[in-house]
Amino acid sequence: MSSIGRRIDALREEVRGISGPTASASGREQIAFTPHPGQQEFLASDAQRRVLVCHRRFGKDVACVLDLWARAQRWRKDRRRRKLVPAVSIGIVYPSHDLASEFWRLLLRVIPGYEVERKIESFPRRLELRGDVAIEIRSGQDPGRLVAAGYDLVIFGEAGELAEEAWL
């Protein structure tokens, strides 16, 4: 088995419910996911920065949510000992509230309900998970509000549509 195959198998093990549809503790159906070769390359990469430039139906958001969830599970085990508050902080930035809302709904389908300790529906949306993990979804409409967030991981969705100030 290739290193990509081993990484995908490990990812499947880490992220419960992605090998077939199941019901989470909240009663929501989780998504079934078998990554295609392009997603496999992305999920297998440990690069500090990764950019997905691909067609509309590639599954970028699904791959990002699953990668986010797997990393959060790994990191919270390592970082709890370092007394960071929160132990893991993840930011997701989309150019508009509408696009951010789509990612939010996907995120809620992937993360099991029993993991969620607190859910804030208003913007910036926030999930606080067991093990001191915080996931925050923001709009890039006001780039000044993105300053000094201190995230361990940031996902920029539809990055080409973000204002230039969001990158500075």
Q: Cα separations (Å) of 62 from 32, 54, 107, 136?
A: 10, 13, 9, 17
Peptide bond into 112 cis (omega under 30): no
For the four alpha carbons of 32, 36, 42 and 43, in that order, the dihedral sign comes to positive
Who wins on pLDDT, 168 or 100? Answer: 100
Q: Which two tokens stand for residue 61?
A: 């958001």
What span, in angstroms and rounded, lies between the C-alpha atoms of 110 and 24?
A: 9
Residue whose C-alpha is closest to residue 138's, from 119, 122, 153: 122
Tens of pLDDT, residues 66-102: 899 888 888 888 876 666 778 889 999 999 999 999 9
pLDDT tens for 110-165 read 888 999 999 999 988 999 999 889 999 988 888 777 776 688 889 999 988 888 87
Contact 126/136 with Cβ under 8 angstroms? Answer: yes
